[in-house]
Each structure stands twice: as C-alpha cells, then as structure tokens.
Amino acid sequence: MNKKVLGLVPLAIFILLSVFLYQGLFGNPREIQTGRLGHTMPAFSLPDLMDEQTTWTDKDLQGDVYLLNVWGTWCPTCLAELGYLTELKDKGVKIVGLYYDQAYDPDFGDKFDVVALREEVNNMLGRAGNPYAFNILDLNRSLALDLGVSGAPETFLVDKAGKILVHHTGDMNTRVWRTKFAPAIQELTL
Amino acid sequence: MKKLIFCFGLLISAINAYAIEDKYHFDSVEREQTFKELTHELRCPKCQNQNIADSDAVVAKDLRDKVLTLVHEGKSKDEVIDYMIDRYGYFVHYQPPVTPLTILLWVLPGLIVALGFGFIVVRQRKSAQVQPWTDADETKLAALIAKYEQREQQ
C-alpha cells in the first residue's frame, strides 16, 4: 500500500507541473509589475499640450480621483481606445491625457512643431472622441519615465491623495475596466 | 551577390553600433565601465528580452539617457539600478532579487537532485544486502527443480 502511494508521487509532480506550465501559456507577458504602484504621483511641472502658457504640476491634480491616460497620435491602439474612454468620460470619469511623443529626439536634430502636433491631435480627437479634461505635454518623456511608462497606451488610476492604484499597460476596454479599474474605484468610495 | 549584400548589411549595422557607443563621453574610464555594465544589465521594459543597450525602443533610449545622466552625476551602479526598479519594477533588472518566491527557484533544483541521489543510494544499499541462504531455501529450490524436470518429461 505504502509503495503504491509512493509510486504515484512522480505522477502527482507531473500533473502539478503540467498545470503550472499550462497556465503559463495564457499569461500576459506584457503584464509586468511596476514599481510605482501604491506610491504617489511623482512631482512634475509640464506645459499643457494645447496652450504652452498653462503649466500643470502634480499639485494641480490632487483632490480628484482620475485616470491618467498615456497616449500619442502615432499609436493605433490609442486611437482604438478613444471611443471607450469617451464613454467613460460621459459617465463622469475624469481623464487626464499625458501626451507621449515618440518621435521627438533632439539627438537626431528633430525640431518639434507644436502647431502641427496640435492640429494632428485636434484631428484625431475630433474624429474618435475627446475624453480628456486636458492634456499634459511630456515632450522629453520625463514624467513618463518617472511613472514607469514603457510605451503607449498605458492608463493609471490615481486617488484624491495622488496615490497610484492601478497601472494598466495596453488598451482600455469594457473588460479591463470591469476587472481592474471598477473594483479599485469601488474600494475608494467605500 | 546575396552574400555580398549580407556582408555589407552586417558592416553597416556594426558601424551603427559603434556610432551609438561613441555618442557618449565620460570623464573617467570607471564611469564608462559602469555605464556599459548597467546598459547590459538593465532590461528593456517594452521589448521583453533585450537589454537597453541592444534595444531600439524609445523607452530603451530614454533609459539609456537616464542611466548616462545618473552615471555623470556620480551615482553608483546599485543606486542606478534602484532608481530603475523604483519606476519599472524588478522586471527591469536581469538579476532577480532574493525573495521567498525566488528562493524556491534556487532551492528546488538542488532539492530534486539530492532527493534523486538519495533514492539511488537507498536502492543500491537494499540490493547490495547479502541475503543468507538457508536450508529452507535449499529444499524450496530442490522442489522447484523437481517440478521443472517433471514437466520436461511430460
């Protein structure tokens, strides 16, 4: 009897290993841990995308629960999620855009043309919907680096005290909202 | 011809690689070394499995520039790595930290080898045991032989 049980041990190990590896097949490798989760928004002072006279700092954002959406006109997935984000805005969610310029690289002698960019942005938001309360222009991607942003689109959920509750990499949709963002917001209001 | 084009391509990519390295200037060999080590040890958060020295992703370039700035400021290797882990999580460093979960990764293979080895030793010992030959065994053997011979004759 004892020997029979012992003989089943390799089988048990094999099954456990199979389950573990099988699960790995469906994991999302993009879903990486970020260092900023649970910390407060890093300090920054950046111009508004549409009006360089206006400067936004981390203090301006405090006091509200909001989504910080990292995006750019060059990014097709950002275009795809604009519709859903606009729906969220219509439901009363405050969404702040962090404009992530991918092309700009002064090392290669790039000149930044803010007028052309504004036109491009207006074009895209006019077509696909404008979910943003305002957009912060992060030309050097310094705030993006401080937030641990690796590309666009990425979305953060920030609470009233400026604490980052969710960091989502990839597009925003009903499923993501329901599974990741809604529970975190629910916890806030309780 | 195809080979020639391939070689040419290789040459261009090699020149390109040099150009990237040359872009940076350092006040000391030590700092240059630190920079080189860091860009090879830090992992690009966008491209999954390239270090930031190899990757062309925008974020890898930004991280390279940041590493450069931090090294110029005189930050040590560990300080730069901590800075990056603060922002991008443990993923950004190729060397995983020792946590209860990662300890399992180190210990488990050793444990399995030890168990397997122990199993072999136990088996070996068992089979090496000298079993005494008794009179009872002798009669049993004789009976078996007799039975066998009987069957042969039939």
- Measure in Å the smallest separation between the Cα of A91 and chain B Cα atoms: 31
- Measure in Å the smallest separation between the Cα of B96 and chain A Cα atoms: 13
Average pLDDT over residues B62-84: 90
How far, in Å, CA of B128 to CA of B122, rounded? Answer: 10
- Lowest-confidence region among A22-31, B34-43, B48-57: A22-31
How many CA atoms within 13 Å lie on the side-chain side of A52? 6
Mutation site, A14, A33, A142, A145, interface B, largest B CB count within 10 A: A145
- B57 CB neighbours in chain A (<8 A) are 150-151
Structure tokens at A109: 């002698």
More confident residue, B24 or A120: A120
What percent of chain A lies above the pLDDT cut of 70? Answer: 90
Interchain contact, B86 vs A36, CB within 8 Å: yes
Q: What is the pLDDT of residue A113?
A: 81
CB atoms within 10 A of CB A61: 18
Contact A150, B48 (CB under 8 A): no
Q: What is the pLDDT of residue B130?
A: 82
Q: What is the pLDDT of residue B102?
A: 81
Contact B45, A150 (CB under 8 A): yes
- A6 CB neighbours in chain B (<8 A) are none
The residue written with tokens 């925008």 in the block is B58
Q: What is the pLDDT of residue B31?
A: 86
Q: Would the pLDDT of B9 be above 70? A: no
The residue written with tokens 């350092």 in the block is B26
- Measure in Å the smallest separation between the Cα of A81 and chain B Cα atoms: 20
- Measure in Å the smallest separation between the Cα of B138 and chain A Cα atoms: 30
Q: Can you give the length of chain A in residues?
A: 190
- A150 CB neighbours in chain B (<8 A) are 44-46, 57, 59, 88
Interchain contact, A151 vs B62, CB within 8 Å: no
Interchain contact, A105 vs B61, CB within 8 Å: yes
A174-186 pLDDT, tens digit each: 999 998 899 888 8
Interchain contact, A151 vs B89, CB within 8 Å: no
Q: Could you tell me the pLDDT band of residue B117, with boundaries at 50, 70 and 90?
A: very high
Q: What is the pLDDT of residue B22?
A: 55
- A32 CB neighbours in chain B (<8 A) are 45, 88-89, 91
How far, in Å, CA of B147 to CA of B144, rounded? Answer: 5
Q: What is the pLDDT of residue A91?
A: 92
Average pLDDT over residues B18-31: 68
CB atoms within 10 A of CB A165: 18
Average pLDDT over residues A52-78: 91
B-chain residue closest to A139, CA distance: B62
Interchain contact, B59 vs A149, CB within 8 Å: yes
ipTM of the complex: 0.77
Residue among B46, B57, B66 minimizing CB distance to A145: B66
Q: What is the pLDDT of residue B7?
A: 60
Q: What is the pLDDT of residue A28?
A: 66
Q: What are phi and psi of B131, to 5 degrees?
A: -100, 125
A85-139 pLDDT, tens digit each: 999 999 999 999 999 987 666 666 667 788 888 999 999 999 999 999 999 999 8
0.90 exceeded by the pTM? no
What percent of chain A lies above the pLDDT cut of 90? Answer: 48
- A99 CB neighbours in chain B (<8 A) are none
The residue written with tokens 């009987």 in the block is B150
Rg (CA), chain B: 33
Chain A stretch 109-148, residues whose beta carbon is closer than 8 A to a beta carbon of chain B: 141, 144-148
Q: What is the pLDDT of residue A67?
A: 94
Mean pLDDT across chain A: 87
Interchain contact, A145 vs B57, CB within 8 Å: no
CB atoms within 10 A of CB B130: 5
Residue among A145, A147, A150 minimizing CB distance to B46: A150
- Measure in Å the smallest separation between the Cα of B153 and chain A Cα atoms: 41
Q: What is the pLDDT of residue B21?
A: 52
Mean pLDDT across chain B: 83
Q: What is the pLDDT of residue B139?
A: 93
Q: Would the pLDDT of A43 be above 70? A: yes
Q: Would the pLDDT of B27 be above 80? A: no
Q: Could you tell me the pLDDT band of residue A16, with boundaries at 50, 70 and 90?
A: very high
The DSSP 8-state label assigned to residue B51 in this structure reads B
Residue among B44, B86, B90 minimizing CB distance to A33: B90
